[in-house]
Chain A
Amino acid sequence: MATMEAYVAVRAHGLKSRLLKRPDYEALARGEREVYEYKDYSSIAARDPLEVKVEKVHRVYVSRISLLAESAPELSEYLWALADKLEFENLKLQLRRVLGGGGRPILYPYGRHVGPVRLSEATEEKELWELALSSGLLERVPKREWGSLAEREAFVDFAYVKHLASAVQRVPASGESRRALLEAAAELCSLVAASWSRHLSPEAVASVARAAGLEVKRPPRGGSPEERLLRLARRLELRYPASLPYAFAFDVYATAEARNVERVIVGRSLGMGSSEILASLLLTSP
Chain B
Amino acid sequence: MLEMQREILTKEALSLLERVKGRREAEGRFVEALRRVNELRLRLGEPGFRALSCLSRPPSVLLLPVSFQGVPCPQIRVSAPPDTSLHYDAEVLERIGELWGALAALIEVANAEAAIRCISEQLVRLSQIINSLDRNVIPALEDAIRRVEERVAARELEEHVRARRLRGA
Interface residues of A (CB under 8 A from B): 50-51, 54, 89, 92-94, 96-97, 99-108, 148-150, 198-199, 259, 262-263, 266-267, 270, 272, 276-277, 280
Contacts and interface: CB of A to CB of B under 8 A. Distances in A.
A266 B46 contact: yes
Given A54-B46, A108-B47, A262-B46, A102 B38 contact: no
Query: Dominant SS at the A interface?
Result: helix
Nearest to A280: B42
Contacts of A277: 42
Contacts of B57: 100-102
B55 A105 contact: no
Nearest to B83: A100
A285 B120 CA distance: 62
B39 A276 contact: yes
B43 interface: yes
Contacts of B56: 100
Contacts of A150: 88
B42 A102 contact: no
Q: Give the interface size bracket for B toward A.
A: 20 to 34
Given A266-B46, A276-B39, A103 B86 contact: no
B88 A106 contact: no
Contacts of A93: 47-48, 50-51
Interface string B47-88: 110111111110000000000000000000000000000101
B46 A106 contact: yes
A280 B44 CA distance: 10
Contacts of A97: 51, 54
B51 A92 contact: yes
A267 B42 contact: yes
A106 B51 CA distance: 7
B45 A259 contact: yes
A44 B167 CA distance: 116
A267 B53 CA distance: 18
Given A106-B46, A270-B41, A96 B55 contact: yes
B38 A272 contact: yes
Contacts of B3: none
Contacts of A103: 50-51, 53-54
B101 to A, nearest CB: 21
15 contacts: A54-B46, A54-B47, A93-B50, A96-B52, A97-B51, A103-B50, A103-B51, A106-B46, A107-B47, A149-B86, A150-B88, A199-B88, A199-B89, A267-B38, A280-B43
A107 B47 CA distance: 6
A93 B88 CA distance: 15
A105 B54 contact: yes
Contact of A263 (B42, B47, B51): B42
A33 B51 CA distance: 30
Contacts of B52: 96
A237 to B, nearest CB: 24
